[in-house]
Amino acid sequence: MSGLWYFFCAQVYFSEHLVFLRQRFSSYDELWEKLTQAEWCTNHKYSKSWHRILHVRSKQKEYQALLQRHQDQGIVVIDIENDLYPPLLKEIYHAPLMICALGNRNILQNTCVAIVGTRKATEYGLAITDEIVRILASHKITLISGMAYGIDSQVHMSAEKYNASSVAVVPASLLDSNLGGNNRLRKSLSPDQHLIVSENTRIGDLQKFHFVQRNRIIAGLSKWTIVVEAPEKSGALITAAFARDENREVFVVPHSLNNIQGRGCLCLIRDGAQIITDVDELPGLLGLTPNKVTKLPLHYQYDSEMEKLVHEKIQAGKNLDDICQELQISSTDLLVVITDLTFKKYITSTTEGVY
């Protein structure tokens, strides 16, 4: 595995060029030892990779010690030729030569769904995330996210809550104390139930591009990607773009036009992503085997005081005209609130105008 490890540390991706060169040698170890500049730099675009290879070659002992340090910490390094390497990840463009994994690595073979979103999640976004995880957990789906604050953290916490497995893909080295996300959450996740994955081996060197690399792995591990809540400029949209580039389906939770944190979701819907109008229908959208799901009592999360008041009036049996009068709200504004409450499944229409 040493040859692959050195290529990995040199950030040489599993390109067609590397595959071609591999065919000329008996192993990656031999390829690493005998590879020449002339063989590697048949194309100018690979020259930067060659300089990285030279750097790692000059410090092979240090990188061998780094591999040993990973192993001493219980971190498993899974190379692309290993049977444990996730099959869907292997299919993507520039699949990582290796991934570093801490926890239950067997869950990488499960059917996986990515759930991503903004760090600045609303109560609505967090509640919907919890509902989605609950339903997918009942189908033994493994949840993939980035362990960032907000939606990502909710994915992993809800997975723990509903006894589902999850994979947290982080941008930093697993040897770092700062993984580039919710570090407190790391300690609360059961190693038997969850897995933390990274492509980064550079301790203390977390760059912006590492977050983008992380997003491609999240999409690559997953058969489907769900964007719960995301602004127009969001890492979640980058993950969705990677998923679509690999012809993986993207699903989106819709939002009000007034929700800044949800505008990216509206853009995805405009661009052809599938809209989730009912979380209970999600298993059918994903083609999962029908499974009877027991609904749990929902802890109500309101976006405004008016939404709370309208809900209380409906629960008290008031009709819409009475609610307009008692709350001094126009029928147009009331219908907006009614729509939001209906989407959240707090209310349902029994007959025309009656909820």
State which of 18-27, 34-43, 245-254 shows the largest mean pLDDT: 245-254
Check whether 263 has a pLDDT greater than 50: yes
Is residue 325 in some structural domain?
yes
**pTM exceeding 0.85:** no
Same-domain status, 208 and 112: yes
Same-domain status, 111 and 53: no
Split at pLDDT 50, 70, 90, the class of 229 is very high
In order of 4, 54, 265, the CA distances from 19 in angstroms are: 12, 19, 38
Split at pLDDT 50, 70, 90, the class of 16 is low
112 token code pair? 């996986």
Same-domain status, 277 and 318: no
Looking at the structure of the chain, the number of domains it has is 3
Q: What is the mean pLDDT of residues 291-299?
A: 51
- Give the 3-state secondary structure of residue 295: coil
Check whether 76 has a pLDDT greater than 50: yes
Is residue 162 in some structural domain?
yes
Least confident segment among 87-91, 233-237, 270-274, 334-338: 334-338
Q: What is the mean pLDDT of residues 266-281?
A: 91
Check whether 13 has a pLDDT greater than 90: no
pLDDT at res. 321: 83
pLDDT at res. 294: 47
Same-domain status, 255 and 324: no
Check whether 272 has a pLDDT greater than 60: yes
Helices (H), the chain: 2-9, 16-22, 28-34, 37-40, 47-58, 60-72, 87-90, 123-137, 151-161, 183-188, 208-221, 235-245, 263-270, 282-285, 305-315, 320-327, 331-343
- Give the 3-state secondary structure of residue 193: coil
The candidate with the shortest Cα–Cα distance to 115, out of 140, 133, 135, is: 133
Q: Among the three residues 15, 35, 65, which one is the final residue of a domain in this structure?
A: 65
Is residue 335 in some structural domain?
yes
Same-domain status, 237 and 199: yes
Same-domain status, 48 and 196: no
- Give the residue, 50 or 119, on which the prediction is more confident: 119
Same-domain status, 20 and 148: no
pLDDT at res. 230: 93
Q: Are residues 123 and 300 in contact, defined by beta-carbon separation less than 8 angstroms?
A: no
pLDDT at res. 142: 96
Average pLDDT of every residue of the chain? 86
pLDDT at res. 90: 92
Is residue 348 in some structural domain?
no
- Looking from the CA of 129 toward its CB, the CA atoms found within 13 Å total 31
In which order are the strands placed within the sheet that holds 249-252?
76-79, 98-103, 194-198, 166-169, 142-145, 112-117, 224-229, 249-252, 274-275
pLDDT at res. 251: 96
Q: pLDDT exceeding 70 applies to what percent of the chain?
A: 91
pLDDT at res. 293: 45
Is residue 12 in some structural domain?
yes
pLDDT tens readout for residues 320-344: 888 888 899 888 888 888 888 888 7
Is residue 299 in some structural domain?
no
Same-domain status, 231 and 171: yes
Q: What is the mean pLDDT of residues 144-161?
A: 93
The CA distance from 192 to 213, in Å, is: 26
Same-domain status, 48 and 149: no
Is residue 268 in some structural domain?
yes
CATH number at residue 231: 3.40.50.450
Same-domain status, 174 and 209: yes
Same-domain status, 137 and 270: yes
Instruction: Find the domain containing 139 and state its range.
Output: 105-285
Same-domain status, 202 and 238: yes
Is residue 241 in some structural domain?
yes
